[in-house]
């Protein structure tokens, strides 16, 4: 039988079979040792083959189909093994808050670069609209303009009051979606608002630190009624950017990549080269300084 991995906690893996039933499965021994680069041989979103064990109420995963894509992170910055957060994603969403807590531009851009790096289409969800005053609305409008021009769809919602959810719900239908964002940005609240049946745990925002507490400790996949999934990821501080070489970064900024054919050099890094269309774009306002500064900072990190 075939199914999708919807939960993986270590020793047990929950698989949703085609007919909708869920089976807790063990892994056939061979997988545990095969993949030494990753701490988890099977990940949320994996398509697997399962053999049901009639004597027990559980099953055995016998095959893992090749992944179309996946997103990984490292346990620590220096560690050689990485953890697959989720596989076979159709779309990645970053939940951004202008306030309570403020999401940094660096975080947004790192997320987007990671998604581009893995060829996963990405969008931005601005949450907590209800907390916005004039100033926050202006900040959001400014960011929205920058990211939409770059090619990223933007949504503005309030998970608390349910505002602005309809267009987003349409996009989520029938797809495998990843939700990421700072802890406290409202990922769990948003999943609740999208599908109240799911009853995700949402944490209270700590008033002293203005930081969210960790209520989710490992990624979990939720099935949306009507079809589709949302993978909720725990507060990821050092999101992604793991496997990439410096040379790959320029293509991960789509608005700059589009200008590359107009740069004098085919392999222009848009830093010191003469005749660079991206640098001209900075002067003309076509390229945002905010994005360009992120680009430089990510490039210099490599
Ligand atoms: N005012 C307001 N608070 C929200 C909104 N969405 C989430 N919150 C609150 O923000 C805190 C963190 O939300 P949670 O969903 O746990 O964030 P997560 O860490 O990203 O999963 C909780 O206290 C939520 O009630 C919103 O749209 N407006
Ligand atoms: Mg949460
Ligand atoms: Zn250039």
Predicted structure pTM score: 0.89
Task: Give the chain's domains with CATH numbers.
Answer: 2-66 (2.40.50.140), 72-78+85-232 (3.40.50.300), 246-301 (1.10.40.50)
Q: Report pLDDT digits (tens) over 93-142.
A: 999 999 999 999 999 998 999 899 889 999 999 999 999 999 999 999 99
Ligand 3 centre distance from Cα of residue 187 (Å):
37
Ligand 3 centre distance from Cα of residue 260 (Å):
6
Contacts 24+ apart (CB under 8 A), 186-189: 186/95, 186/97, 186/127, 186/128, 186/159, 186/160, 187/95, 187/216, 187/232, 187/233, 188/215, 188/216, 188/232, 189/127, 189/159, 189/160
Residue carrying the six token digits 């002067």: 283
Q: Report pLDDT digits (tens) over 220-268.
A: 788 898 889 999 886 555 555 566 788 899 999 999 999 999 999 999 9
Burial status of residue 299 (CB atoms within 10 A of its CB: 0-12, 13-18, 19 or more)? middle
Nearest CA to ligand 1 atom 13: 186
Region of 252 (left: φ > 0; alpha: ψ -120 to 50; beta: rest) is: alpha
For the record, the structure tokens of 260 come out as 């590359």
Ligand 2 centre distance from Cα of residue 183 (Å):
7
């Amino acid at each position: 039988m075939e199914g999708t991995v919807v939960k993986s906690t270590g020793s047990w893996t929950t698989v949703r079979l085609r007919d909708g039933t869920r089976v807790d499965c063990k892994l056939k021994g061979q997988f545990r040792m095969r993949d030494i680069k990753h701490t988890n041989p099977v990940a949320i979103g994996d398509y697997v083959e399962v053999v049901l064990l009639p004597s027990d109420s559980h099953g055995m995963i016998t095959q893992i189909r090749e992944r179309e894509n996946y997103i990984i992170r490292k346990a620590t910055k220096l560690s050689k093994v990485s953890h697959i957060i989720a596989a076979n994603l159709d779309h990645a969403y970053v939940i951004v808050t202008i306030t309570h807590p403020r999401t940094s531009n660096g975080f947004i851009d790192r997320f987007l670069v990671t998604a581009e790096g893995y060829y996963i289409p990405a969008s931005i969800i601005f949450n907590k609209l209800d907390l916005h005053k004039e100033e926050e609305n202006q900040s959001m409008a400014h960011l929205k303009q920058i990211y939409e021009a770059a090619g990223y769809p933007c949504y503005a919602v309030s998970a608390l009051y349910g505002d602005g959810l309809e267009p987003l719900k349409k996009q989520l239908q029938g797809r495998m979606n990843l939700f990421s964002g700072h802890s406290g940005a409202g990922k769990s609240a948003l999943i609740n608002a999208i599908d109240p049946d799911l009853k995700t745990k949402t944490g209270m925002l700590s008033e002293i630190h203005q930081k969210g507490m960790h209520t989710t400790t490992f990624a979990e996949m939720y099935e949306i009624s009507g079809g589709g999934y949302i993978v909720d990821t725990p507060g990821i501080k050092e999101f992604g950017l793991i496997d990439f070489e410096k040379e790959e970064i320029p293509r991960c900024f789509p608005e700059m990549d589009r200008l590359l054919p107009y740069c004098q050099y085919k392999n222009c890094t848009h830093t010191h080269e003469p005749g660079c269309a991206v640098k001209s774009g900075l002067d003309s306002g076509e390229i945002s300084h905010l994005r360009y500064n992120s680009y430089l900072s990510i490039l210099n990190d490599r």
